[in-house]
Amino acid sequence: MTAALEVTGLDVRFRLRGARGGPPRLVRAASDVGLTLRHGRLLALVGESGCGKSVLTEALTGLLPGNAEVRGRALLQGLDLLAAPETVLRDEVRGRRIGLVGQSAGTFLTPTRTVGAQLREAVRLLDGPEPAEVLAERAGLPATALDLYPHELSGGTAQRAGLAAALAGDPEVLLADEPTAGLDRPLVDRTTDLLVDLARAGTAVLLITHDLRAVRRIAAAGPVDLAVMYASRIVESGPASEVLARPWHPYTAGLLGALPEEGFVPVPGEPPELSDLPPGCPFRPRCGRSACSDDPTLVGHGDRAVACHPAVPA
């Protein structure tokens, strides 16, 4: 499968004012992140809240605040998103080449206009190839919802409306940031199934989530990639079915062990503050393994990669 979006060496830092006139603080939200989104494939990015997952979508779409410092490359068919001017991102990328489904997508809808009116406007402004009714069907949005206002939608229906809007410009890449947050399990399953269907149809899909149960379910049904993020870094990646069946990094194993069906054992300790990351491996203070290289570098091994070098099977 061809690469739709290739991210290498992505660093995002936020410079914050110091308290009471003190020195400024530097928050490291993403450190040397590398990701490849492929046409026809879904990549799930998982990790605890606050590890830096959502910052990636903002960096890739040029929506970071003014105090952000960004380095690295993000090539979208030859266009470096991190170096592109705002006019290019606004007129050529956002909505057209990259669709974005945010958390609580219903809050992005205008409250005084019907869903249908907003979808039709999005199609017109983005020169979309499909009418609003077709977008609604693709997103699993009931036709009756087009005549409703955002406040009349349930949480799951609002998420589908947000997904339909993200598809209006027929983007080649879809970034879905916690699209199942706050939904019950049946709606989680329906939403993730829709994202898988979009990937199978050729779209490159990034699903950002903390829901490993959902990732395990869709990985069992077909090819899905998985990347695990901890304290601003990718610590493990590879085919989801392989990573979930045999995790190499102790953090990945800890996340799986915290699932109810795996014993409900939480990962010990607390994640570090992104403004005070320890040197070397950021997971070392929480890791119970005796062998440690203390090297946070992600190293490839076939179609998998891991930042815990002693954990790689011989």
Per residue in 74-96, pLDDT tens?
Answer: 999 999 999 999 999 999 999 99
Six-digit token string for 77: 């068919």
Task: Report pLDDT for 150.
Answer: 93
Q: Flag whether 204 is in a domain.
A: yes
Q: Flag whether 158 is in a domain.
A: no
Q: Flag whether 28 is in a domain.
A: no
Q: Flag whether 119 is in a domain.
A: no
Give the whole-angstrom CA distance, residue 24 versus residue 19.
8
Give the count of domains, the chain: 1
Q: Flag whether 117 is in a domain.
A: no
pLDDT tens per residue, range 41-83: 999 999 998 999 999 999 999 999 999 999 999 999 999 999 9
Which domain CATH number covers 45? Answer: 3.40.50.300
- Res. 128: pLDDT tops 80: yes
Closest to 36 measured CA to CA, from 298, 265, 308, 314: 298
Q: Flag whether 270 is in a domain.
A: yes
Section 278-284 average pLDDT: 93
Section 99-116 average pLDDT: 88
Q: How confident is the model at residue 120 (pLDDT cuts 50, 70, 90)?
A: very high
Task: Report pLDDT for 291.
Answer: 86
Range of the domain at 298: 39-62+85-97+171-311
Q: Flag whether 91 is in a domain.
A: yes
Q: Flag whether 215 is in a domain.
A: yes
High-pLDDT (> 90) share of the chain, %: 78
The pTM for the full model equals 0.94
